Amino acid sequence: MCDYKIIADSSCELPSALKKDSRFALVPFHMEVDGVSYKDNNSLNIKKFLESIAGSKSCPKSSCPSPDLFLRQFNTSAKRIYIITISGKLSGCYNSAQLAKSMYEEENNDKQIFVIDSQSASGGECLLALKAHELEQEGYSFEEITVRLTNYRDKISTYFVLDNIETLRKNGRLSRLKALAANTLNIKPLLAGDKGDIIQLDRAIGLRKAWNCMVKRIAKDVETLNDMANRRLIITHCNNFKGALKVRDMLKSCTNFKEYIIMNTSGLSSLYANEGGIIVVY
């Protein structure tokens, strides 16, 4: 029995050990490619899923978890519940989780529930989940943890380099002209999270140069951090473990985070990052 539970949507990647930990739960997104529905859970075959996206001429779709799916996770002995969602500017998941909280609290008063918009995705959500777990283990009160999590969220940085930008083009996040130029000239964009939005910071010819551009920006950013040695850095990759290792080693040569974690992207992150994509958060 545990006094707390940490719930996230399935955009959140977790280290393998925590996926089996009853204090953590992931609520799945649903995705659709050419009329075929996929649930973003452990049974999803990412390789086949990516193949279906690559062969699709239509725009892949995703739908966030319903309030009922979050409500089911409240059926627990835990008295304190933390819900972490993908950026509210990218999905309706935050609103869905908030509605579930309201619905539960209309009839019950036995739990303290906190919903936080990560203003990020993927590893950004994982950072918040790990921080909530860490703060609980250190004995902070629920109220203190909600404040500390919010402050921590506001300091998270997100960068990513994509090898394939087709899903972003199909979803209207990149103009057709830019997408055509990128595909033709092997131009790889350096993208970043900006308070929950996606912005393009730079671009380079080829993945290696784009990774180098990203690493240089991160190295410059962390010059102002006075707590780098106490912070984690997470790299998630879409079927590109060798690339993730390369980026990690590049970052290790110029930064000093307390931990460097590498994980595979989930189904939702794979849908948008596409094969070869790499996401870095800290």
In the predicted model, is pLDDT for residue 82 greater than 80?
A: yes
CA 261/CA 92 separation, integer angstroms: 28
Mean confidence (pLDDT) of the chain? 92
H helix or E strand, kind and range, residue 262: strand 259-264
Top-confidence residue, 274 or 146: 146
In the predicted model, is pLDDT for residue 182 greater than 90?
A: no
pLDDT in tens, 150-168: 999 999 999 999 987 666 5
In the predicted model, is pLDDT for residue 251 greater than 50?
A: yes
Taking the CA of residue 101 as centre, how many other CA atoms within 13 Å lie in the half-sphere pointing to its CB? 18
In the predicted model, is pLDDT for residue 173 greater than 60?
A: no
pLDDT in tens, 59-69: 899 999 999 99
Q: What is the mean pLDDT of residues 162-177?
A: 62
pLDDT in tens, 183-211: 556 788 898 998 888 888 988 989 999 99
CA 174/CA 112 separation, integer angstroms: 41
In the predicted model, is pLDDT for residue 171 greater than 80?
A: no
The predicted structure's pLDDT at residue 7: 98
Q: Do the beta carbons of residue 205 and residue 128 sit within 8 Å?
A: no
Per DSSP (E only), the strands in 17-123 are 24-27, 30-33, 36-39, 61-63, 80-85, 112-117
H helix or E strand, kind and range, residue 278: strand 278-281
Amino acid in the structure at residue 240:
N
pLDDT in tens, 104-135: 999 999 999 999 999 999 999 999 999 999 99
DSSP 8-state symbol, 14: -
Top-confidence residue, 176 or 44: 44
> What domains can be seen in the chain, in order of their start residue?
4-29+64-153 (3.40.50.10440), 158-281 (3.30.1180.10)
The predicted structure's pLDDT at residue 59: 85
Q: How many CB atoms lie within 10 A of CB 267?
A: 22
**Residue 169 binned pLDDT confidence (cut-offs 50, 70, 90):** low
**Residue 180 binned pLDDT confidence (cut-offs 50, 70, 90):** very low
* Residue 199, both tokens: 């912005």
227: Cβ contacts below 8 Å, ≥ 6 apart: none
Q: What is the mean pLDDT of residues 258-271?
A: 96
Q: Could you give the percent of the chain with pLDDT greater than 70? A: 92
CA 157/CA 200 separation, integer angstroms: 14
In the predicted model, is pLDDT for residue 45 greater than 90?
A: yes
Q: What is the mean pLDDT of residues 245-259?
A: 97
Amino acid in the structure at residue 196:
G
